[in-house]
A and B are shown apart, each in its own frame.
Chain A
Amino acid sequence: MKKLVILGGGTGGTMMANKLRKDLDDDWMITIIDKDNIHYYQPGYLFVPFDINKPREIRRSKREFINPGIDFVISDIANVDWDKQEISTATEGKFNYDILVMATGCDIRPDEVEGLEEGWGHDIHGYYRFNDCQELGKALKRFKGGKIVVNIAEMPIKCPVAPLEFAFLADWYFHERGIREDVEIEFVTPLSGAFTKPVATKVLTDACEDKDIKIIPNFALGSVDHKEKVIQAFDGSEVNYDMLVSIPPNFGAQVMIDSGIADPMGYIPVDKHTLQPEGHDNVWVLGDGTDVPTSKAGAVAHFQGDVLHENILAYVSGGEQHARSDGHAV
């Protein structure tokens, strides 16, 4: 029995398992390893604070979406050894593989910014986690006026347009409540403008102007003083707030750093077209956990998945691998 192991049962891992199960013979065992059985629809995090999505609508069971013929193991991953072709788990032993697909994603790390984690919950909120988006919703309901600062700590982040979407939704929300004139919304970003690409930046900057959302660019967050309600950049500039909606630094899984296969931010270095790490022709990585210079978004993982699907089947049959990823998201 040959073994294909997939690390991560989120968007990328589930999609790859289901695609490959359809096309691989029964002499291939496919196993997904993930730390829990909860699948979050992450795009919905943005809508929960505004009651556009209910929490129960964006939280499902991972097993529900894993097709028959795929084993699902629930355990933390303790170590990834590409040379031994072996995965060590915290509670379910070791798994050898013939092919490894890695889709472990990334997560926010508020502890990486001085003062941010200790201030979390004290007029500092976020929406990149299930519990956080609900707490933010409660905080928005309590907010009666003042300055809301939406701040991206640093790039890369998951879903790079989401912070702007949040600001636009906040504009709409406070209009609906009839208190928009009492609320300032500032968008504070390390980028040189509203977004990363010139065409989108122009459109989105105009939209911010129309909605009276002030953009403060080139702000590299250094620290947060939650008692004084001030965020401070490395160059000494400061922005005060009444509520801070923070998008903290995004890091890849710590276990990848501990296993010695990731960069200091936990992202796994891969060829940006083949999505393989150098020197390991039976390992593929997709989704938010790579160091590929493209958006971290489900749409990107989808198109990367098409490339992996084609190339893995070619690898299995001994053929040439022609598919190449170009990083597009739409």
Chain B
Amino acid sequence: MSLLKDTELNHMAKLMFKWAYFNLLLKGAWLGPPDLMMEGKVR
């Protein structure tokens, strides 16, 4: 699964992000440990 590909899933995720932004992110909700976001990346 690629975040860069032109897919319905990526498009829907982008639209759903608005809900997450207003209801989670702005309210300071914890979105998981920072290290999780480095999964697969080379340091």
A: residues with CB less than 8 A from B are 11, 14-19, 22, 39, 41, 43-44, 47, 52-53, 57-58, 60, 65, 67, 168, 200, 203-204, 207, 298, 302-303, 305-306, 326, 328, 330
Known: A306-B34, A328-B38. Contact between A41 and B22, CB under 8 A? yes
**What's the minimum C-beta distance from B23 to chain A, rounded to whole angstroms?**
10
**What's the minimum C-beta distance from B9 to chain A, rounded to whole angstroms?**
15
- Starting from the known contacts A15-B28, A207-B4, A328-B41, 9 additional A-B residue pairs (CB-CB under 8 Å) come to A14-B26, A15-B27, A18-B27, A43-B21, A53-B18, A60-B22, A65-B27, A200-B4, A328-B37
The answer to whether A330 and B3 touch across the interface, beta carbons within 8 angstroms, is yes
The answer to whether A52 and B15 touch across the interface, beta carbons within 8 angstroms, is yes
The answer to whether B15 and A203 touch across the interface, beta carbons within 8 angstroms, is no
**What's the minimum C-beta distance from B27 to chain A, rounded to whole angstroms?**
5
The secondary-structure label for the interface of chain A is helix
Among B5, B26, B28, the one with the most A-chain Cβ atoms within 10 Å of its Cβ is B26
The answer to whether B28 and A18 touch across the interface, beta carbons within 8 angstroms, is yes
- Give which listed residue, A22, A52, A207, contacts B28 with CB less than 8 A: A22
- Give which listed residue, B6, B18, B27, contacts A57 with CB less than 8 A: B18
For the complex, what is the distance from the CA of A60 to the CA of B21, rounded to whole Å?
A: 12
Chain B contributes a number of interface residues (CB within 8 A of A) equal to: 20
User: Chain B residues with Cβ under 8 A from A204's Cβ?
Assistant: 4
User: Chain B residues with Cβ under 8 A from A207's Cβ?
Assistant: 4, 6
User: Chain B residues with Cβ under 8 A from A41's Cβ?
Assistant: 18, 21-22
User: Chain B residues with Cβ under 8 A from A17's Cβ?
Assistant: 28
For the complex, what is the distance from the CA of A298 to the CA of B31, rounded to whole Å?
A: 13
For the complex, what is the distance from the CA of A203 to the CA of B5, rounded to whole Å?
A: 8
Known: A43-B17, A52-B15, A328-B38. Contact between A19 and B22, CB under 8 A? no
Known: A41-B21, A43-B18, A57-B18. Contact between A11 and B37, CB under 8 A? no
Identify which of residues 1-38 in chain B touch chain A, using a CB-to-CB cut-off of 8 Å: 2-6, 14-15, 17-18, 21-22, 25-28, 31, 34, 37-38
User: Chain A residues with Cβ under 8 A from B41's Cβ?
Assistant: 328
Question: Can you list the 7 inter-chain pairs with the closest CB atoms, starting with the nearest?
Answer: A18-B28, A19-B28, A203-B4, A65-B26, A14-B26, A15-B28, A18-B27
